[in-house]
Amino acid sequence: QVPLVESGGGLVQPGGSVTLSCTPSTSDFVIYSSNIISWFRQAPGKEREFVAGVTWRNYKRYYGDSAQGRFIIRRDAAANTVSLQMDNLTPEDTAIYYCARKWDADTWYDGSKYDAWGEGTQVTVTY
């Protein structure tokens, strides 16, 4: 079973906003205090790209270059949810967005180090 579930994707116009959510698919999946939950994205024909991440213990946040100044990642520990607010979207933001979990925050940008992934949610930015 896929351990994480993303939601909130869809069609949005350039300049618009969308908020994605990520949550465990079952109560058996535990997010530990040492973990980091991150968002990655992959557009057709492109490599997977780190978007943003947040550490569970101390709420330290990391952003990829494409997200700086436009996206905000938040975590709600009580609800076991991580959200990604994306503003001022452009067609270049069109991609499948995935959330993933890594045991610690080292090499937070490296998707190959993450051990649990969701199936992704499509975001399409177009008129």
Tens digits of residue pLDDT in 62-88: 999 999 999 999 999 999 999 999 999
Q: What is the DSSP letter of 115?
A: -
How far is Cα 76 from Cα 59, in angstroms, rounded to an integer?
A: 10
28: left (phi over 0), alpha (psi -120 to 50) or beta: alpha
113-98-23-5 Cα dihedral, nearest 10 degrees = -110
Query: Mind listing the pLDDT tens digit of every residue in the chain (127 residues)?
Result: 899 999 999 999 999 999 999 999 998 999 999 999 999 999 999 999 999 999 999 999 999 999 999 999 999 999 999 999 999 999 999 999 999 999 998 999 999 999 999 999 999 999 9
